[in-house]
Amino acid sequence: MQLDGSVCLVTGASGGIGRALACALAAEGAHLILSGRDEARLAETVDAVDTSRCLACYGGDLRDATTLNHLAQLAARHEASVLFNVSGANQLGLFESASDEDIEALIGINLVAPMQLTRRLLPLLRARPQAAIVNVGSAFGAIGHAGYVNYCASKFGLRGFSEALSRELADCAVRVIHVAPRATRTAMNSAVATRLNQVLGNAEDPPDVVAQAVLAAVRGNRKRIAVGWPERFFIRLNQMLPGVVDRALGGKLMLVKQTLQSAGAQE
Q: Which domain holds residue 129?
A: 7-266
Please name which of 73, 82, 37, 51 lies closest in space to residue 218, comparing C-alpha atoms: 82
Stretch 78-107: mean pLDDT: 95
Q: What is the pLDDT of residue 265?
A: 42
Active site residue 148: no
230 cis-preceded (ω within 30 degrees of 0):
yes
Residue 136, domain member (yes or no): yes
Segment among 115-124, 129-138, 190-199, 251-260 with least mean pLDDT: 190-199
Residue 119, domain member (yes or no): yes
Residue 1, domain member (yes or no): no
CATH number of the domain bearing residue 20: 3.40.50.720
Q: What is the pLDDT of residue 266?
A: 45
Cβ–Cβ under 8 Å, residues 109 and 62: yes
Residue 2, domain member (yes or no): no
Q: What is the pLDDT of residue 263?
A: 67
Residue 173, domain member (yes or no): yes
pLDDT band at 215 (very low <50, low <70, confident <90, very high): very high
- pLDDT score of 153 more than 90: yes
Alpha carbon distance 132, 173 (integer Å): 8
Residue 261, domain member (yes or no): yes
- Strand arrangement, sheet containing 54-59: 54-59, 31-36, 7-10, 82-85, 131-136, 174-180, 224-226
Q: Which of these is catalytic: 140, 151, 156, 234? A: 151
Residue 37, domain member (yes or no): yes
Q: How many domains does the chain have?
A: 1
φ, ψ for residue 148 (rounded to 5)?
-130, 35
First to last CA, the chain: 48
Residue 29, domain member (yes or no): yes
55's enclosing H/E stretch is strand 54-59
Alpha carbon distance 63, 69 (integer Å): 11
Stretch 56-60: mean pLDDT: 94
What DSSP line would sit under 209-230, residue for residue? HHHHHHHHHHHTT-SEEE-STT
Q: Say which residues have a Cβ less than 8 Å from residue 162's Cβ, sequence separation at least 6.
A: 133, 135, 137, 176, 177, 178, 224
Measured from the Cβ of residue 243, the count of other Cβ atoms closer than 10 Å reads 8
- pLDDT score of 12 more than 80: yes
